[in-house]
A and B are shown apart, each in its own frame.
Chain A
Amino acid sequence: SQQGEEDPQALSIQEGENATMNCSYKTSINNLQWYRQNSGRGLVHLILIRSNEREKHSGRLRVTLDTSKKSSSLLITASRAADTASYFCATDAFRSARQLTFGSGTQLTVLP
């Protein structure tokens, strides 16, 4: 089963616009992570937010976490064509032996 579910499944925007992706999950977590995957390639870690944090920034990335709603969002500001990729949230849940459970991803397309 997949703990995290991303929304939307696909998102297409113009270069320079902001992109927001959402993730919902089901059980209590230690942390939530966002990964990026370029087509057919391995995943690259973007950012991690712990259960006691509400917001985190890294460059053009901003992640929020609402544990009461069991949801997270990833905001990419001033998007670039090179941001085109699939973005996955992954939860590190309590009692999971520190495994990650991935959502099905959001396919982001940034048009030049």
Chain B
Amino acid sequence: DADVTQTPRNRITKTGKRIMLECSQTKGHDRMYWYRQDPGLGLRLIYYSFDVKDINKGEISDGYSVSRQAQAKFSLSLESAIPNQTALYFCASRGNTDTQYFGPGTRLTVL
């Protein structure tokens, strides 16, 4: 079984809709991250959380919000989706080492 899971894997939505992407990890990690990847580019950090009570903005947080419902769960919301938020979204977790473990990604298309 995968250690970091993301749902949904694919989503097509319309401009202005609210979207939630969910992430769960079974590794018992405290740190969780949300990234987006655009074609031909590396990952950019949206938000990160060091524990349930600690949420921090990343490089590109505008237009996004997050919720850390439990140690194992970290959700990303787009309050009012716009077309330039079309991208691949990845969740990752990290424990006491420096390695991050990534989920399989969510492909989001905003029409």
Chain B's interface size range is 20 to 34
Q: Does more than half of chain B's interface fall in helix, strand or loop, or is it mixed? A: strand
Judge if A1 is at the interface, Cβ distance under 8 Å: yes
Instruction: Give min CB distance, A87 to chain B, whole Å.
Output: 11
Chain B residues within 8 Å of A97, by CB:
48, 56
Contacts known (A2-B42, A33-B99, A99-B48); A43 close to B58, Cβ less than 8 A: no
- Mark contacts of A1-13 with chain B using CB atoms, 8 A cut-off: 1 yes-contact digit, 0 otherwise: 1101000000000
B104–A41 CB distance below 8 A: yes
Chain B residues within 8 Å of A102, by CB:
35, 42-44
Judge if A44 is at the interface, Cβ distance under 8 Å: yes
Chain A's interface size range is 20 to 34
CB-based nearest A residue for B101: A45
Which residues of A pack against B, CB within 8 Å? 1-2, 4, 30-31, 33, 35, 40-45, 48, 88, 90, 92, 97-105
